[in-house]
Structure 1
Amino acid sequence: MRPSPDTTPRPRSAAETAERVRRGHVRAIDVVDAALAAVEADEHNAFVHVDPDGARRAAAEIDALVAAGKDPGPLAGVPFGVKDLEDCAGMPTRAGSLLFTHAPPADADSPLVRRLRRAGAIPIGKTATAEFGFDSATSTRAHGPTRNPWSPALTPGGSSGGSAAAVAAGLVPLATAGDGGGSIREPAAFCGLVGLKPTHGRVPRRTSHLFSTPGVLAASVADTALALEAAAGDSPGDRWSLPHRPGAFAVRLPPPGLRARFSADMGFAPVDPEVVEVAREGARRLAALAGFHLDERPLTLPDARPPWLVLACVELRRELGLLGPWPDVLDLLCPTTVQGALRGEQITAAEHAAALAACADLEAAMAAVLAETDLLITPSTACPPFAAEGPIPTVIDGRDAGVSGAEPFGPIANLTGVPAVSIPAGLTRDGLPVGMQVIAARFHDDLLIGLAAVAERAAFLPARARG
């Protein structure tokens, strides 16, 4: 006799959940209720707003489509979190700030949220973010610290820390994220997840931020690919968006014989020696499994952090100037935001022009490296996860890290537009995740997805926090 389908709505991957919902093996409403119960019991402060009524209405619509014999989409019934920098219709967007304590619900979705909904996914709430996305930790005056499921005393990173914590804790299989200087990759590294910053323009956005890229954090490589495939494609509201190319995020084995270059510090950044050791060993294992040649000769690239900081601080100051009387709003902001905004106010036109010129130099330098090698591999971060309340370490390996910070290798991919992924490389002696960043030339997102899949199948470390 044939066994009956498993109807338990326990946490599963997005792909498996969607398949079971589409086949009628489980109802979307039961999946959503299980996710809402998990969020309610969570102690990591991953979600800062939950919309149970809206989620249940959306689930009922999915179930009605299934009952009518219609296909609700490739993400049917998958509950997901929305980073609180993105609009989600029916929920407020507070950007992690006291400035928006009383923000009304948004009346429209961001392009990413809209496309995930169109694919059948169900937003259940907003995940915590660093205030205005301007921090390497997720701890705000508005919502307090978000905690890392691997070790609750530590940060999940920033600025997409709530999304990373929600996925790593198993609350949802998928959450939106954004990466303006490493804000997908650092939380992925700190929480033991795969985190891809797509090629600039692959996923459309609704923002004037020139180097910020929307994306997702997910429980598996397949889920990452499934969500990004649903989200990709040009949009009339984003002049940088690219036409959809089917298979841009396909999960397939990378071709053999690739050339890769490993750099522990890109020639300028202080990095914790244990992080280097774990990342290097991860790169060697990946090279052996995927069949590529790994060149470990020292490599020096221009430091992207200084020009990135100039541009990011100017953009932050511009955004804050639109929100209320300046500088009265400073009293409501987090210290890191205040520091960045005041720095942005002091930047001269000449400094701004020099930062833009430095971006052109960075593009040329990155192009030269990627003309000689297919992959550039570095540690994803300069240190392991630090205290949930902060501060960001200013001394790493006995050297001044006040400017380079916890994610010195993130901004170069943003300023040059190339795709970059953080792949779990292994664990520190204290059992904390370490990520290795892999950078490829523009439009080679599928190559990075394939390499991440190789590492995942070899179980470099569990996809979610132990215990």
Structure 2
Amino acid sequence: MSQTAMITATELLDAYRRRTISPVEATEAALAAITAYNPVVNAYVLVDPEGALAAAAAAERRWAAGRPLGPLDGVPMSIKDIFLTSRWPTLRGSRLIDESGPWTEDAPAVARLRESGAVFLGKTSTPEFAWKGVTDSPRYGATGNPWGPDRHAGGSSGGSAAAVGLGMGPVSIGTDGGGSVRIPASFTGTTALKPTYGLVPMYPPSPFGTLSHAGPMTRTVADAALLMDVITGFDSRDWSAMPTPQGSFTRGLTDPIAGLRIAFSPTLGYGTNDTSVEDAVRAAVDVLADAGAVVAEADPKIIEPLEAFQVLWFAAVAKVLQGHDHQLDLVDPGLVAIAEQGRGLSASQYLDATAVRMELGIELGRFHSEYDILVTPTMPIPAFSTDLQAPEGWRSSLWTTWTPYTYPFNMTQQPALSVPCGFSADGMPVGLQIVGPRHSDRTVLQVGQAFQDLTDWHTRVPNLVNRLATPEPKG
């Protein structure tokens, strides 16, 4: 495999400055990786080699003139097929959407990335309307895992995670309404941040409302911070967006974490974990303690908010399919079943679920008055077969039942980062989740960076890379 394809965005930018690698070479390497690996894992649903190479050539001219357009000029990347992207269709994994468009508008994050000079390679897969924690859809089929193509890459941003994990572009952006950047990060051994709600403007408004966030998907925390500097730019189309943060997310990223108060909750008080997952996460927590953090094992005083989250989620799914009753044969049957449940919910039930959400936020706010950071497993399980919708023998096929540690922080809108921290007994990646109070994104990233400074899990190369050779790009 081309070594250039596995270089991080931060390293690429340094190479551009030193003129040891060019944007065209980096883009050629990413496109070569797509040619080699996409037929195996099905991560991309659209690839635009000509457009990417033209954008890379323009970036190369800017770097040669000493005038890069922005912080990501010339970095090849992918975009989850949920974000509007001008000149490309946004089909959301659904056969209900007409590919003919017109497609004339960029979503806020896409607009900021384009303005920064990022090279768009194409769009990555999602389950239909990003509704679940695995990535398969009626329109495009299933997306496989870089560490085992017969295993799920997670969802709903599984295409982005698989792309990043195999060097098919070093970075991507995804959406997260209940774990959708963190579940794939955990399953694929990559890094992903769900920022504080409102930091990354969203348009059009998500049917999942204020549960839905947008965030960076990368191999390293440093790259996630780099993307945050770009995608947090203000956009008037999002009425709920926060002001653009002052200062870079890379500022203070490598500061020591000595003295930070970290609570380790292996189950949030209600979950159960695969033994090898818990072992890997406990070892990761020891790394943070060795770095000087003050670590205590402590659970927040919360009750599993599954029922309340499902009320909010199912009601949104019903809205997604509203007006399509005559086309339901085209839709993922699981999505249809959830929409049917959502249609039966009352306004009173929705308000009760919202009240549970508010109480959850209050309790976690109290918890963070004692602890700066909360760490948990990202997922209680490693990736499972693409033939299944839940782990074999699980109590339910609903994705919400096997993602107990991700969706609560969509309800509370807290920043949550997943970093790779080991492997399961059968060789699949395990993720460590790092959570902070709202608006503490820089501290969350700082803790993640400290962990990656002391470990090498984020540098591990998927087995698939060792089985398939990607040719070096031609000069």
Structure 2 residue aligned with 1:40: 35
- Give me the whole-angstrom Cα distance separating, in 2, the residues matched to 1:342 and 1:15: 46
- Give me the whole-angstrom Cα distance separating, in 2, the residues matched to 1:11 and 1:270: 34
The answer (yes or no) to whether the contact 1:139–1:390 under 8 Å persists in 2 is: no
How far off its partner does 1:443 sit? 1.5
The TM-score with structure 2 as length reference comes to 0.90
Deviations 1:176-232 (A, max 9, x none): 111111111111111111211111111111124212111111122211111111111
The answer (yes or no) to whether the contact 1:194–1:423 under 8 Å persists in 2 is: yes
> Which of these residues, 374, 379, 382, is aligned with residue 381 of structure 1?
379
The answer (yes or no) to whether the contact 1:202–1:241 under 8 Å persists in 2 is: yes
> Which of these residues, 198, 201, 209, is aligned with residue 201 of structure 1?
198
Q: 1:367 to 1:65 in 2, by over 3 A?
A: same
Q: 1:329 to 1:300 in 2, by over 3 A?
A: farther
- Give me the whole-angstrom Cα distance separating, in 2, the residues matched to 1:304 and 1:462: 31
Structure 1 residue aligned with 2:162: 165
Structure 1 residue aligned with 2:420: 424
Root-mean-square deviation (CA, aligned residues, Å) is 2.1
The TM-score with structure 1 as length reference comes to 0.92
The one-letter code of the counterpart of 1:362 is L
The answer (yes or no) to whether the contact 2:127–2:136 under 8 Å persists in 1 is: yes
How far off its partner does 1:388 sit? 2.0
- Give me the whole-angstrom Cα distance separating, in 2, the residues matched to 1:67 and 1:403: 49
How far off its partner does 1:390 sit? 2.3
The one-letter code of the counterpart of 1:175 is S
Deviates more, 1:261-270 or 1:173-182: 261-270
Deviations 1:90-146 (A, max 9, x none): 111110112236343621211111111212211110011111111111111211111
1:217 aligned to 2:217?
A: yes
Q: 1:177 to 1:254 in 2, by over 3 A?
A: farther
- Give me the whole-angstrom Cα distance separating, in 1, the residues matched to 2:192 and 2:95: 28
The answer (yes or no) to whether the contact 2:194–2:415 under 8 Å persists in 1 is: yes
After superposition, residues 73-222 of structure 1 pair within 5 angstroms as 73-100=70-97, 102-104=99-101, 106-206=103-203, 207-208=205-206, 209-222=209-222
The answer (yes or no) to whether the contact 1:305–1:403 under 8 Å persists in 2 is: no
> Which of these residues, 62, 65, 87, is aligned with residue 65 of structure 1?
62
- Give me the whole-angstrom Cα distance separating, in 1, the residues matched to 2:392 and 2:372: 33
Q: 1:264 to 1:11 in 2, by over 3 A?
A: closer
5+ long unaligned stretches in structure 1: 1-6
Deviates more, 1:13-22 or 1:199-208: 13-22
Structure 1 residue aligned with 2:234: 234
- Give me the whole-angstrom Cα distance separating, in 2, the residues matched to 1:18 and 1:135: 35
- Give me the whole-angstrom Cα distance separating, in 2, the residues matched to 1:53 and 1:141: 28
The one-letter code of the counterpart of 1:212 is S
How far off its partner does 1:355 sit? 0.8
Structure 1 residue aligned with 2:26: 31
How many residues in Structure 1 have an aligned counterpart in Structure 2?
455
Q: 1:111 to 1:338 in 2, by over 3 A?
A: same
Deviations 1:304-336 (A, max 9, x none): 332222112211221222xxx431221111122
SS where residue 317 of structure 2 aligns? helix
1:334 aligned to 2:329?
A: no
5+ long unaligned stretches in structure 2: 467-475
The answer (yes or no) to whether the contact 2:133–2:399 under 8 Å persists in 1 is: no
> Which of these residues, 330, 348, 363, is aligned with residue 365 of structure 1?
363
- Give me the whole-angstrom Cα distance separating, in 2, the residues matched to 1:118 and 1:383: 39
How far off its partner does 1:274 sit? 2.6
How far off its partner does 1:24 sit? 4.2
- Give me the whole-angstrom Cα distance separating, in 2, the residues matched to 1:363 and 1:197: 16
The answer (yes or no) to whether the contact 2:269–2:299 under 8 Å persists in 1 is: yes
- Give me the whole-angstrom Cα distance separating, in 1, the residues matched to 2:169 and 2:229: 19
Q: 1:415 to 1:285 in 2, by over 3 A?
A: same
Structure 2 residue aligned with 1:282: 284
The one-letter code of the counterpart of 2:34 is V
